[in-house]
Amino acid sequence: MPFTILRQDITKLPVDAMVNAANTGLAMGGGVCGAIFQAAGAEQMQEACRKAAPVPTGKAAVTPGFALPARYVIHAVGPVYHGNEASRCEALLRSAYWSSLELAVEYRCASVAFPLISSGIYGYPKEAALRVAVETIREFLRHHDMDIYLAVFDKESFVVSRQMLGDVEAYLSENYVARDTSPQRFLNRFESQVTSVPDLDSRACGSVPDNLEEIIGNLDEPFNATLLRLIDARGKTDVEVYKKANIDRKLFSKIRTGKGYMPGKRTVLALAVALELSLPETDVLLEKAGYALSHSIKADVIVEYFILRKEYDIYAINEVLFHYDQPLLGSN
């Protein structure tokens, strides 16, 4: 999955590059910075940083990872937050992320892990810091293939929009049940048949081809063939779909080829989001792969909430799933 949010100690992640939330002098500090220095070997890291310093705010520099599981440490200098200079601080924070990602490309890194830069002692509001991080990473991934992780220690370090959480919580209260009392639909893709497809709603994404019901309702067709026909029907490219679904190119290629491979439920849901399917369409696509949404599964109810509201931002969906300790969309 190209972008993943983890509740994990960043110093333990086996990535090509680990990003340190640094100061301009690249001196050992507290928090994430101190943890990275200690795990790398403080004396070695400080000597390497001494040679690379100073680094302007909004920029980054590279050192070896030493004893860390990462080959490199990218020291990104985020801004100290000042409310009366919010726009300037945001531009500098975006630059810190972007400079780090450019260095990761330069050093041929396939994977990189970030902390939430500037959200600790530098005082950047956590909700705003998260928004800047996600927006910058999303823009980068439109043009590059890389596995990017955002590592946070605890829930206090990760703040999602209160308005969004309030709406999701209300929907969960009305629709989530601890145990599904309705008959469980165990779907077998080789035996199940669908005699009719629910009416398609008119969608904000544009006109829907007249034959779309036929495309997704033909259960004799393999899942990968249906997916490719849906992509064509939506007027999208493969790249647009797998990037919007937060699926890496190798996994999408595996799905596209078929040969008996069936993606997991979270991947199918990610593809439904990327294709901006309605809830009835999503149900049918899930059935094609042998799955179904259930109100006894909190993650399913959360995804249903977003689809019903035609909010197809997989990053926003995954932020809410992460908040509720649910598996993210895009991975198998």
- 183-212: pLDDT as tens digits: 444 343 333 333 333 343 433 344 444 555
Question: Which of 8-17, 202-211, 267-276 is predicted least confidently?
Answer: 202-211
- pLDDT for the residue numbered 160: 76
pLDDT tens digits for range 45-64? 999 999 999 999 999 999 99
Torsion sign (Cα): 136, 139, 143, 144: positive
Distance CA(103)–CA(116), nearest Å, equals 18
> What are the structural domains, with CATH classification, of the chain?
3-159 (3.40.220.10), 164-323 (no CATH)
- What confidence score (pLDDT) does residue 201 get? 42
Instruction: Give the confidence band of 219 by pLDDT, cuts at 50, 70, 90.
Output: low
Determine the average pLDDT of the residues in 143-158: 84
Q: Order the strands of the 60-64 sheet from edge to edge.
A: 3-7, 147-152, 111-114, 17-22, 72-77, 60-64
Tell me what pLDDT residue 206 has: 41
Mean pLDDT, rounded, for 234-242? 96
CB neighbour burial string for 283-297, b if at least 16 within 10 angstroms, e if fewer: bbbbbbbbbebbbeb
| pLDDT at residue 215, rounded to an integer | 56
pLDDT on residue 179: 59
> Three-state DSSP class for 324?
coil
Amino acid, res. 258: G
What's the whole-number average pLDDT of the chain? 88
Give the C-alpha separation, 149 to 126, whole Å.
17
Going by pLDDT thresholds of 50, 70 and 90, the confidence category of residue 217 is low
Cβ(332)–Cβ(251) below 8 Å: yes
CB atoms within 10 A of CB 12: 14
Q: How far apart are CA 114 and CA 74, in angstroms?
A: 9
Kindly list the distances between the CA atom of residue 104 and the CA atoms of 34, 57, 230, in Å, as whole numbers in the listed order: 22, 18, 35
pLDDT in tens, 70-122: 999 999 999 999 999 999 999 999 999 999 999 999 999 999 999 999 999 99
The pLDDT of residue 190 is: 33
% of the chain at pLDDT higher than 70: 86
Q: What pLDDT shows up at residue 152?
A: 87
Beta strands 60-64 and 72-77, pairing class: antiparallel
Place of tokens 């197809």: 312
Q: What is the mean pLDDT of residues 279-304?
A: 96
pLDDT of residue 218: 65
Section 235-239 average pLDDT: 96
Rounded to whole angstroms, the Cα distance separating 285 from 211 reads 15
Ranges of beta strands (E only) in the chain are 3-7, 17-22, 60-64, 72-77, 111-114, 147-152
Structure tokens at 315: 């990053």
Average of per-residue pLDDT across 22-28: 98
The torsion angles phi and psi of 192, rounded to 5 degrees, stand at -70, 150
